[in-house]
Amino acid sequence: MFSIIDRDGVKLLVSDKIKEKHGFSTRVGGVSTLEHTASLNLGYYRGDDKETVIENLRRFSSAVSIPLEDFVSVTQIHSAEVRYTAEEDRGGGIFYKADYECDGYVTNRQGVALCVKTADCVPILFSSGDGIVGAVHAGWRGTARGIAAVCVERMVSLGAERENITVAIGPSIGQCCYEVGEDFYLEFSSLAGKVLTDRFVIRSIKSSGKYYADIKGANKEILLGVGIKEDNIDVSDMCTSCRDDLFYSHRKSGGLRGSMCSVIAL
């Protein structure tokens, strides 16, 4: 189950399925003053100056009790690339530009904080329960490319027991607000297959020709398909577009928005 907690004014979500230090940020508790980034924007290049973003990152890092120096959050490219991450990666994407790009991380190293950025896309955090963690950014392309399954396999290859892996699927745009067209249906289907697509990209009876995509549901189904127990999967019921008072929504804001972070560390 997810709950919203408040630490010195910083609101964040935590899941009781994840025992390690972790958190999903909201837009509440930072120092950004622009209308579209107020107030806890954790992404560069969204309109805030670098000092403002660093101060917001420090507040979030303090709220999750993970040193900002340990964070890794490199450029995301809507791929299914999940990278093994270690000490030398710390600070990448936060204090300097890393020389690689990816959409997910796994590690078995203490003091390495895996951090993904979202604003409608699905943030997913993983724990083996015994020393291996993962994090992925699953937009619709990453979802359709199976990045959640890739992360599980990377964790298993590091020694995780599949039946012990727990997963928290964080707040993202919900099916209520994620209207897509036939082109989306076709492209998702070509990447993920028709069976998954027909379950999670549903044609609306009310608005003819429009589809509504459930990317959180698709990720859960993908995780069940690679042997993760249903009891071990937590899915946030919050929609970033419905709750744009609490979250940034790329769709609702027409792209003029801040970024949220989801982080986990051993």
List residues near Zn ion by CB under 5 A: 174, 176-177, 239, 241-242
Q: Are 5 and 16 in contact (CB under 8 A)?
A: no
Give the nearest distance from C-beta 86 to Zn ion in angstroms: 38
Q: 114 vs 239, which CB is nearer to Zn ion?
A: 239
d(CA 219, CA 2): 17
Smallest distance, Å, CB 119 to Zn ion?
14
**Residues forming beta bridges with residue 82, ordered by sequence position:** 104
Min CB(240)–Zn ion separation in Å? 8
Distance CA 139, CA 147 (A): 10
Q: Which residue has the tokens 């020389």?
A: 99
Residue type, 21: K
Which C-beta is closer to Zn ion: that of 37 or that of 241?
241
Residue placing its CB nearer to Zn ion in the complex, 185 or 247:
247
Q: Which two tokens stand for residue 182?
A: 């036939």
Distance CA 85, CA 101 (A): 12
Nearer residue to Zn ion within complex by CB, 70 or 120: 120
**Closest CB 102 distance from Zn ion, rounded Å:** 28
